[in-house]
Amino acid sequence: MKNNLLTRIKNDFQEGTRFKWFLLSILITGLSYGLYKGMLDNFLAEIVGMGEMDRGVTEFFRELPGVMLVLILAAFYMLSAETMYKVGAVIMLVGMGMHAFLPPSKVLITLAICTYSLGEHIQLGMKSTLSLKYARPGHGGSVLGTQSAVNQIGTLAGYLVIVLVFSIFVQNAPYRTFFWVATGLAAISAVFAMGITGRSVTDSTKRRFYFHKKYNKYYMLEMFYGARKQVFFTFGPYVLILFYGANASTISLLFAVSAVTCFFASPIVGRIIDKLGYKVVMVADTLILVIVCFFYGFAHHVFPKNIAFIVCCVNYILDSVISLASMASNVYVQDLADNPEEVKATISTGVSINHVITIFIALCGGWIWKTLGIELLFILSAILGLCNSAYAATIKKGEGKHV
């Protein structure tokens, strides 16, 4: 079975391409990221001493490269996708190394996070381009799936390592040691990246904004989705750490369970979108979201603290699953578009709009939590979700083919 799987993967790629180097780079990057992400929030809270507002400011700078990505890719349009992928790998290595050797001050660690994020976003912009370039004709979807699976396997392995090690070293959590380990892995990934050859042209749809009147509702949906997503992505784990005292092992385990759950739930959500239509899914997911937000913000008022913590963990995973419903908006774009290039350009623009909103939500969310409490923060998330559904409900039959 293993040989059949490897043979199938090999047959999806064109001969003569360095796809093995590419996949190894993605696998090691995923492992490095899993270690990094699994302990970052606890490191910021326990070692750097970041509070609610500080976390929002840090997230603002982490998301900033995502906003600037279109401009960055446009400025370096003359470089091939392979070269940009390598540049991203080197910048990620530098950023991870900064976490390992810089003093744990708020300013320096925020700079390290921003640097790593810049490399990460550059690579994200190139992964799909290179995957499709290396794929045999008619095998693009399979190659994209393989690339995603390899990345998820690496990331999940990183999470599980943090769960194991930080369960053993509870008192003296080895943050610095594992930042060095993650840096070493980032260096290995960069070496594999350097082995990639070719002169693939970067995807022009990622180098420009594309606005058209028929996509106005999609742009608004991306704004609402980006805002509500950011509340859980940034502050969900931090609530568990600051309010409930969750350690790095627990947070990393939560990330691992969430990743596995989404891995199995993703195709199910996709089939639901195909069967019921994207409009129904866009509207319905908010009904679950309101319940999730209520329990995340008010569980400690309803249950004893230890039970409330479990309720919040379950709701964090549930939010990750319902966030998969964002695929529905991509199907909506596909229904409206006249050609595949228009789909890619529109979705790329939507991602940029999403990032613009998230950086401001990060700042506002930190301030709201600090001054008004976590209850209001998650009420805001529920309201944003309701706005998303209300706007989705305005999609009329005939706007797309599968409403």
Query: Would you state the pLDDT for residue 154?
Result: 94
* Selection from 78, 79, 86, 77 nearest residue 122 by Cα: 86
DSSP E strands, 222-343: none
Distance CA(55)–CA(370), nearest Å, equals 11
CATH code for residues 1-208 = 1.20.1250.20
Q: Do 1-208 and 210-403 show the same overall fold?
A: yes
**Exposure of 330 by Cβ count < 10 A (0-12 exposed, 13-18 middle, 19+ buried)?**
middle
Average pLDDT value for residue range 308-326:
89
- CA dist list (Å): 289 to 101, 185, 243, 285: 40, 37, 21, 6
Distance CA(268)–CA(262), nearest Å, equals 10
Length of the chain: 403
Write down the mean pLDDT value for the chain.
85
Per-domain residue ranges of the chain? 1-208, 210-403
Buried b (16+ CB within 10 A) or exposed e, 141-152: ebbbebbbbbbb
| Chain center to CA of 321 | 13
Query: Would you state the pLDDT for residue 401?
Result: 53
* Selection from 76, 35, 41 nearest residue 58 by Cα: 41
Average pLDDT value for residue range 166-190:
91
Average pLDDT value for residue range 214-240:
85
pLDDT exceeds 70 at position 397: no
Report for 141-155, 198-212, 303-317: range of highest mean pLDDT:
303-317
Tell me which residue has tokens 């700079």: 111
Distance CA(53)–CA(60), nearest Å, equals 11
The structural architecture, per CATH, of the domain 210-403 is Up-down Bundle (1.20)
